[in-house]
Chain A
Amino acid sequence: MSAVPATRRRFAIVVFPGSNCDQDCYHVARELLGCEAEYVWHRDTDLKGADVVILPGGFAYGDYLRAGALARFSPVMETVARFAADGGPVLGICNGFQVLLEAGLLPGAVRVNRGLRYVCRDVHLRVENTGTAFTRLYRPGEVVTMPIGHMEGNYTAPPETLTELEHSGEVVFRYCDPEGRVTDEANPNGATAGIAGISNREGNVVGLMPHPDRSAEPLLGNDAGRKMFESAVLALAAP
């Protein structure tokens, strides 16, 4: 890769109608990391020279039909798919994760939470794979805390896909208790095998239900999520 200083890395924050965490992500990239950041409207097909693409949380298209189902047909998604296919780092957070699932950039689907309620609270996560573009600054097995806020986070996939995910290390985060044990009590939404986040085989596309963008600075009481953004910048420097 080129020798561009890490701080000159450019983030593209995709904005769908109904995205509401776009400014949080922009703030992390620009103010906390000192990188460049641009909003990219969902109708645009130009990522403006971005090195990292973030699909932020929110309720794209009002979550009509299914969360993420309509957003995947936005013009920008074809560009994002090409960017991902070329190895570009793409992170989908919460609703952004749902968009990646609907778009087929990550396998599986989310159902409504098993408790049938919107769940908004901090959860503990065990870092299962530190080889992805967004997790290489974590320690394997590290337990971190991030907030969740979603109605449909109950991850599932066909049995053969789940086996594949487990065998190839594509499970990136699992809900766990403070000691790192993956238990049913620690699972906020019923997700299969406590899966909170996954990656593609290559590790450049990552999606998760929890919000690293809402836990990226001490001012918010928690900066555990900051390393996801920093990892992407590092991954670019040393792929």
Chain B
Amino acid sequence: MRVEVRVYPKEGVLDPQGKAIASALGRLGHSSVTDVRAGKVFFLEVRGEDPVVVEAETRRMAEELLANTVIEGYDVRVRPEA
């Protein structure tokens, strides 16, 4: 099934890319933007029947590799229908 993992800078961790994007958006006239944090998304195809089991396994993948939990947070979304 399809699993999506979002990895992003933790709240309070300086995010130079997000800051640069925010200021670029401001220069383009999108003055409503007050903050941007830039992260990444992983789309995984995982074999399994039980979404709960798949989610637990994917969380381990995030802890072990996909995120550096010193500076990054993550969330996991299992999409059995996809």
Contacts and interface: CB of A to CB of B under 8 A. Distances in A.
B16 A109 contact: no
A58 interface: no
B65 to A, nearest CB: 7
A114 B65 contact: no
B20 interface: yes
Given A65-B65, A69-B65, A112 B70 contact: no
Contact of B68 (A69, A115, A154): A69
Interface residues of B, number: 12
Interface centre among A115, A116, A190 (most CB of B within 10 A): A116
Residue from the set A69, A111, A112 with the largest chain B CB neighbour count within 10 Å: A111
Nearest to A72: B65
B65 A116 contact: no
Contacts of A108: 70
A69 B69 CA distance: 12
Given A65-B65, A65-B66, A69-B65, A156 B16 contact: no
A102 interface: yes
Contact of B16 (A69, A112, A158): A112
Contacts of B16: 111-116, 154, 190
A115 B66 CA distance: 25
A154 B14 CA distance: 10
B14 A102 contact: no
Nearest to A117: B16
Nearest to B9: A111
Contacts of B68: 66, 69, 102, 109
Contacts of B66: 65
Interface residues of A, number: 18
B56 interface: no
A156 B14 contact: yes
A158 B20 CA distance: 23
Interface in B1-56: 9, 13-17, 20
B20 to A, nearest CB: 5
Interface string A146-164: 0000000010111000000
Nearest to B67: A66
B20 A111 contact: no
Contacts of B71: 109, 111, 156
Interface of A: 65-66, 69, 73, 102, 108-109, 111-116, 154, 156-158, 190
24 contacts: A65-B65, A66-B68, A69-B65, A69-B68, A73-B65, A108-B70, A109-B68, A109-B70, A109-B71, A111-B9, A111-B13, A111-B14, A111-B16, A112-B16, A112-B17, A113-B16, A115-B16, A116-B16, A116-B17, A154-B14, A156-B14, A156-B70, A156-B71, A190-B14
The 4 A-B pairs with the shortest beta carbon distances in the complex, nearest first, are A109-B70, A109-B71, A114-B16, A109-B68
